[in-house]
Amino acid sequence: MKTFITNSPEETEAVALKLSDVLCGGEVIAFRGDLGAGKTCFTRGLAKGLGYNGNVTSPTFAIVNEYLGGKFNIYHYDMYRIEGWEDLYSTGFFDYKDLGGIIVAEWSENIEGALDNDTIYVLIDKLGDNQRKITISGVDLP
């Protein structure tokens, strides 16, 4: 487990970059953190780190955004409105899991039971307007 304090969105992206460096493909990254904590911001850094050059935005309406063409494909989920297994199946979550890309899930609290032991957890706590505490577990970071 490793903890980082960031004081700007750019610093949060930089932490995500460190995580992107150690990914091998096939990982599930599960966020925990409130509204506006910085989950989408972190995902933006992750995508950049994997060489994806397009926009990274909240998948609120689509449920999942695909960022293709980087080192690994990224499937960016917003689980906010996912309730139960049937919902989750219909999003393609389990199909994507088998494809070797990276799954990133905001509001992973809602899919707790579907997360394996090897899930990487990213907990973001809001300490102030611009300050965040980011705790990453389930992976070795340098």
Ligand X SMILES: Nc1ncnc2c1ncn2[C@@H]1O[C@H](COP(=O)(O)OP(=O)(O)OP(=O)(O)O)[C@@H](O)[C@H]1O
- Pick the closer one to ligand X by CB: 63 or 132: 132
d(CA 24, CA 32) in angstroms, rounded, equals: 22
- Pick the closer one to ligand X by CB: 100 or 131: 131
Partner interacting with residue 8 (select from Mg ion, ligand X, none; CB below 5-8 Å by kind) = ligand X
Q: Give the torsion sign (CA, 22, 61, 117, 136).
A: positive
Radius of gyration for the chain, computed over Cα atoms and rounded to the nearest angstrom: 14
| Smallest distance, Mg ion to C-beta of residue 108, A | 12
- Bridge partners of 137? 121
| Smallest distance, ligand X to C-beta of residue 96, A | 19
Instruction: Give residue number: closest CB to Mg ion.
Output: 40
Whether the CB-CB separation of 3 and 135 falls below 8 Å is answered with yes
d(CA 18, CA 101) in angstroms, rounded, equals: 18
Contact status: 12 vs Mg ion (CB under 5 A): no
Classify burial at 138, counting beta carbons within 10 Å of its beta carbon; exposed 0-12, middle 13-18, buried 19 or more: middle
From the list 19, 31, 39, 77, which residue makes contact with Mg ion (rule: CB under 5 A)?
39
Which residues are at the interface with ligand X (CB under 6 A)? 6-9, 11-12, 33, 35-41, 58, 106, 130-132
| Smallest distance, Mg ion to C-beta of residue 58, A | 4
Query: Interaction with Mg ion in 44-83: which residues (CB under 5 A)?
Result: 58
| Smallest distance, ligand X to C-beta of residue 37, A | 4
Tell the residue number behind the tokens 């973001």, with chain if given. 124
Interface with Mg ion by CB under 5 A: which residues?
39-40, 58, 106
